[in-house]
Amino acid sequence: MRRSARTATLVAALVVAPLVTTPQAHAATRNPVLFVHGLSSSASTWNTWVGKFKADGYADSELFTWSYDWKQSNLTTASQLRRKVDEIRATTGAAKIDIVAHSMGALNSRWYVKYGGGTSTVDDFVSVAGVNHGTDMSLFCSFYTSCREMVAGSTFLKTLNSGDETPGSVNYATLWSTCDAMINPDESAKLDGATNTSVGCKTHNAMNENSDNYAKVRDFIA
């Protein structure tokens, strides 16, 4: 009886062991995630999704939010973003990170990826309601440099979208709404070469708070 009990215990241990070690192995290969906000916003706009990522097993050390002066040129922000990415990679030891950007954040993030060396440091890039080809709404805030750069046909956008819109080996995705009043036209949010997903009718600010959108982003960068 004692030998049988020991055998049963050993078998149980062998069965349970992989269940314990597998999540640890997965966590070790997961990229840090950097969330980039948009116009008239800050790092706090990501609080809802950061909470959801934590609930799904991500650690604080894997999730990074960041605030910048959204009134400045996206060129300046892209340069600051490069330093932030370098800082995250140095802190975590990760070779690459994932970027999730909302609204105007997609523009400075894409500039970094395309012209700032990000094709070698970014694994997955997700644009959530990104102003990728401009919006008429930016005319209402054109006294800010960042807004002038979001006008369709601006020098900034022409340069950003020239040639390959999704360069390098980065995995690109966009989520776009069919009734986003801030993105006009709606399909401005799409990128050639990306996985472009219409999420139905959602407001601009709901795009990076919505639970269904979160699940799509989580699964894409997994």
- Which parts of the chain fold into alpha helices (H)? 2-28, 47-55, 74-92, 105-115, 145-149, 155-161, 211-221
> Which of 25-34, 138-147, 149-158, 178-187 bottoms out in mean pLDDT, i.e. has the lowest?
25-34
Confidence class for position 139, pLDDT limits 50, 70, 90: confident
| Model confidence, pTM | 0.87
Give the model confidence (pLDDT) of 37-80 as tens digits. Answer: 999 999 999 999 999 999 999 999 999 999 999 999 999 999 99
The Cα 171–Cα 90 span in angstroms is: 22
CA 197 from centre of chain = 14
Q: Are 74 and 81 in contact (CB under 8 A)?
A: no
The Cα 107–Cα 188 span in angstroms is: 12
pLDDT at 140: 86
Confidence class for position 180, pLDDT limits 50, 70, 90: very high
